[in-house]
Amino acid sequence: MSPLPSLLLAALLLVPLPARGQAAVDELLANFQSRLEQGAEIDDLCGSLENLESPDQKALIAQLEKTWPGVRDRYLSAFAAASKQGAGGDRNEGQRRIRELRAAFMQVYAMAEDPMKPKLKEVSKPAVDELRKLLSPTPDELLATATPVLKMQRDTARKLAQFRDAALDAALSTTPSDSREQLAAAEAKVAADAGGLPRDGLKILEKNRKIAEDEEVPAEEARGIEECNLLRLYVGLGALVLDPKLCDASRDHSKDMAEQKFFAHESPVPGKKTPWDRAAKAGTTASGENIFAGSADSHSANMGWFYSPGHHKNMFSPGQRRIGLGQHGSHWTQMFGG
């Protein structure tokens, strides 16, 4: 038997219980201990907490509140240490591979459009996918090669978080039952810290989120802009600043294409003939434009442009500095500014 679950239960039992609640809570904790040892799910155990008497619920919560922070913090500390060691151990090899993948991507980018098209699927997208794993790994990807002890610590922390949340919900406690969300957010931060995206690029992403919130940019447009920026960061390019006026111009052109039933960069609407006209009308300037139709999902639009040589060259142009994205139904317009 691994010592980790036993240590958890021992920590739980350090908190003295009222005599009245001792038997009921001891039984629950013993059951919880057994589930941890077996690697079993605890959904039914969590459901049973609704049937506890109120004093027993309070006694259980008192123990969990003493134990949860330590279990969570020890796991996250071990996860952070393992993530840094993993990144540091193969740092030279990882950096070599990143340079190699970026060079392959840029070689395709430099091609003429006809020979470029098949290479976007054969070379560019696989390169981006591998770069994403190297530069922005998910917690699950980092933990895939973790030691059995660390994996057990994670399982224990997750199940204790679930058990704590269920106990708080059953008792109708005013304490937020957000242990699982807190744990997931903390894991995501550890993974982000272990990645290799440039700080200046990450600062632009954060700035863009604030701009999107302040200017009420629709969520799907903001997501599409962030995805495009992440793609640029993976391949070694700078992130682009969100220009709300380019979003307005883009959204307006998407609306015109949908309502006027055309699909082109040249618009029949007076005063909006070219992308430059439309940008000026919105109070800004533009240096390029992509259009897409067929899905209300920004990822589909970005991937449509990624695999289309001309649009791809716009998305990954080193000379771009600003970006806007506008949706109307299944129509999308992406605009850039120098």
Q: Which residues have a Cβ under 8 Å from the Cβ of 214 and sit 6 or more positions away? A: none
Residue 14 has pLDDT above 50, yes or no: no
pLDDT digits (tens, 9 = 90+) for 178-189: 999 999 999 999
Could you report the per-residue pLDDT of 96-125, keeping only the tens digit for each? 999 999 999 999 999 999 999 999 999 999
Q: How does DSSP classify residue 289?
A: E
Q: Which of 314, 313, 293, 296 shows the shortest CA–CA distance to 304?
A: 293
User: Among 292, 289, 296, which Cα is nearest to 272's?
Assistant: 289
Say what the pLDDT of residue 258 is. Answer: 98
Query: Residue 86's pLDDT band (boundaries 50, 70, 90)?
Result: low
| Arithmetic mean of pLDDT over the chain | 91
pLDDT mean over 115-143: 95
28-60 core/surface letters (b: 16 or more CB in 10 A; e: else)? bbeebbebbeeeeebeebbeebeebeeebbbbb
Q: Per-residue pLDDT tens for 49-76?
A: 999 999 999 999 998 999 999 999 999 9
83 confidence band (pLDDT: 50, 70, 90) = confident
Tell which wins on pLDDT, 192 or 124: 124
Q: Over 90: is that where the pLDDT of 91 sits?
A: no
Residue 92's pLDDT band (cuts 50, 70, 90): confident
Residue 1 confidence (pLDDT):
42
Percent of the chain at pLDDT > 90 equals 78
Q: Which two three-digit tokens encode residue 270?
A: 């007076």
Confidence of residue 88 (pLDDT cuts 50, 70, 90): very low
The answer, yes or no, to whether residue 134 has pLDDT greater than 50, is yes
Type and span of the H or E element at 226: helix 219-234
High-pLDDT (> 70) share of the chain, %: 92
Q: Please state whether the predicted TM-score (pTM) of the whole model is above 0.95.
A: no
Q: For 116-143, what is the mean pLDDT?
A: 95
Q: Which two tokens stand for residue 71?
A: 């279990």
Question: Do strands 241-242 and 288-293 pair parallel, antiparallel, or not at all (unpaired)?
Answer: unpaired
- Which of 43-52, 86-95, 218-227 shows the lowest mean pLDDT across its residues? 86-95
Task: Kindly state the tokens that stand for 327.
Answer: 């949706």
pLDDT digits (tens, 9 = 90+) for 263-289: 999 999 999 999 999 999 999 999 999
Mean pLDDT across 254-269? 97
